Amino acid sequence: MKKDRMNGILIGLFYIVAAVSAVIAVLLYQPLLSGDWYMAVVNGSKTAVLVGVMNDILLIIAAVGTAVMLFPYVRLWNEHSALAYLCFRFMEAVFIAIGVVSILGLLSLSSDYGAGQFVNEGAYHQIGSILQSFHAWTSILGPNLMLGLNTLLYSYLLYKTEIVPKPLALFGMLTAVMVFLAGLLNMFDIIGPFSTLKGLIALPFLLQRICIFPFN
């Protein structure tokens, strides 16, 4: 029982770390995701971006940590659903990691621009735009679509196992659908990646993560 309680606390902490680190990373990446991304290093944003990268690494660790720690409990009710949750959570972490690589690529290009180490400026900016698009797509596929799917699955499993109160698990399923739909709307350019609507959709999701912590 004591071990289960400790594991529950760790799961809750992982979820909170994941939520907080994801927001921090997005905020610190803005100099590289704007139109004048090539000036990020010249403007002194290199350290901030690298701190954002460290937060994304924390996010990846937390994502894998929650999946590994929660799996032994939810598999007791339905092993197939629990395994699907584990896979979607791992896929989310993979897409986030790929996005980090694109950010580091942009940072390297920005450093080269500051040092004047480029031959074809047109091709240079084109590569930067491709890396920005690459990061945008990984953000849709990972922290939106995969996150929505794995949250829906684990909330359903929490509902069935009654590890948390059923209303809270149902709220988790609702927020999961909202996050998934936000990703689809972003994919089809109906809303922007940093739109007010997308931010409002994310708020209930963050609230559910915080509320679930005392029950772990």
pTM of the prediction?
Answer: 0.92
Give how far Cα 57 sits from Cα of 20, 62, 177, 187, 195, Å.
Answer: 12, 9, 26, 24, 25
Residue 39 and residue 42: Cα distance in Å, rounded? Answer: 5
Asked whether 98 and 138 are in contact (CB, 8 A), the reply is yes
List the pLDDT tens digit at each of the 216 positions of the chain.
556 677 778 888 898 899 899 999 999 999 999 999 999 999 999 999 999 999 999 999 999 999 999 898 888 888 999 999 999 999 999 999 999 999 999 999 999 887 877 667 788 899 999 999 999 999 999 999 999 999 999 899 989 888 888 999 999 999 999 999 999 999 999 999 888 888 888 888 888 877 776 665
Give how far Cα 184 sits from Cα of 9, 18, 187, Å.
Answer: 33, 22, 5
Residue 73 and residue 153: Cα distance in Å, rounded? Answer: 13
